[in-house]
Amino acid sequence: MPTATVARLPGYLRVLHGLTADGVVTTSSEELAAGAGVTPAQLRKDLSFLGSYGRRGVGYDVLHLSEQISVVLGLTTQRRVVIVGIGNLGHALASYSVFAERGFAVVGLVDADPAVVGTTVGGLVVQPPAALHDVVSGSDATIGIIATPAAVAQDVCDELVAAGVVGILTFAPRALRVPPHVDLRAVDVASELQILAFHDRRRTGTGA
Amino acid sequence: MPTATVARLPGYLRVLHGLTADGVVTTSSEELAAGAGVTPAQLRKDLSFLGSYGRRGVGYDVLHLSEQISVVLGLTTQRRVVIVGIGNLGHALASYSVFAERGFAVVGLVDADPAVVGTTVGGLVVQPPAALHDVVSGSDATIGIIATPAAVAQDVCDELVAAGVVGILTFAPRALRVPPHVDLRAVDVASELQILAFHDRRRTGTGA
């Protein structure tokens, strides 16, 4: 399945969950595409990789399609997540209720600040860096979230990999290297603003 | 300039800033590409859109290239940002020091919770929803960040657009619609984890 298709599946699932909550039983590719912000043609092509084509004049069964996508994304098993870096952002992520709704359990928190270690955030006691390996392996976590300053992010990344995680989501504003068996997703909030600034400059003519 | 190239420029600038801080005067396409997590060929192609080719055997002038990218991205003028939704995530964003380092000033905060309105976060007093239009237009903000629950995100988005922002960064877990003159960037943290789960499932064989 193409990486770009995989990246769009969570969006479809989000719309389907919303439809289920509203009591909707069947949906059209037009409705689903509009909710997910893609074209109907893109949606149909993506879902064809799941072997799901909908029925002419009837559309897609909301519950069945939700289950199909959940199975493909591996969401029928709860995934365990460890967060490293419990500053403002890490604190917000540790308490983010949407994670639980989407099938993820935060099972460990690690921070290097002695003032933060030992405090309780979202029901978990923050552990020191020396405990990182045990926190990951002891909890069977497979995903690590890095919310540390950029300067230490690569070291934290290496330690998470050594401890056994196979997926890393980083918010640190720098590029990270991982071995081939580990997946890396990066969110750089300031870069997102810089991309918006590019269009703002072109439109308003300021700053050039 | 291709959208994908624009999206990679902040990463290059980040690496260049790091080199400047380390006292490095010239860099090679190999070094710059490695730091940004792209191939040297991709880097050279991207920079060719800026009219920047480097000099054979010498490489790129770090300061000059930084300035070129900053001008293209519109970072030579400070951009003003308003954040709507001062929960855990909005709170973290309001205090995020990297924004200031990258040329963005948070000039307004808005939240619907009466217990939050009136409190001071990152030096700014949180305003009520009724003040959103005045907060944006009074501060000349051009970018809005949405960190509200999904249910109200579209309404907030519409109000930001009506107040005059031309760029929106949303963290709300739902697709948003904006008019053609407004740019939208979306960060969905839970979806990033779901994409990692897809690869985890395929590797470990769990959850299918």
pLDDT digits (tens, 9 = 90+) for A162-177: 999 999 999 998 889 9
| Neighbour-count burial for B104-118, b at 16+ CB within 10 Å, e otherwise | bebbbbbbbeeebbe
Report whether B65 contacts B52 (CB < 8 A).
yes
Say how many CB pairs under 8 Å bridge A and B.
231
**Domain B79-191 is of which CATH architecture?**
3-Layer(aba) Sandwich (3.40)
Q: Which CATH number applies to A3-71?
A: 1.10.10.10
Determine the Cα–Cα distance for residues B208 and B201; give it in Å rounded to an integer: 7
3-state helix, strand, coil in chain B (%, to 5): 50, 15, 35
Domain extents in chain A: 3-71, 79-191
Looking at residue A76, the DSSP 8-state letter turns out to be S
Average pLDDT of span B84-90: 93
Whether the per-residue pLDDT at A156 is higher than 90: the answer is yes
Phi, psi (rounded to 5 degrees) for A174: -165, 155
The minimal CB distance from A197 to the residues B74, B176, B194 is found for: B74
User: Helices A29-36 and A3-21: crossing angle, nearest 10°?
Assistant: 110
pLDDT in tens, B152-206: 999 999 999 999 999 999 999 888 999 999 999 999 888 899 888 887 776 666 5
What confidence category does residue A178 fall into, taking pLDDT thresholds of 50, 70 and 90?
Answer: very high
Q: Sheet with B104-110: list strands edge to edge.
A: B104-110, B79-84, B143-146, B167-170, B183-186
Q: What 3-state DSSP class applies to B201?
A: helix
Which residues of chain A are within 8 Å of residue B14 when distances are taken between CB atoms?
Answer: 173-175, 188, 191
Contacts of A174 in chain B (CB under 8 A): 14, 18
**A51-85 pLDDT, tens per residue?**
877 777 788 999 999 999 998 888 888 899 999 99
Q: What is the pLDDT of residues B173-185, one digit of tens each?
A: 888 999 999 999 9
Distance from the Cα of A185 to chain B's closest Cα (Å) equals 7
Whose CA is closest to B81, among B20, B135, B121, B149? B135
Beta bridge partners of B124: B121
CB atoms within 10 A of CB B120: 9
Query: Virtual CA dihedral for B35, B40, B42, B48, nearest 10 degrees?
Result: 100
Nearest to B79 by CA among B155, B159, B10, B3: B10
ipTM: 0.81
The Cα A90–Cα A50 span in angstroms is 35
Identical topology for domains B3-71 and B79-191: no
B62 touches B27 (CB < 8 A): yes
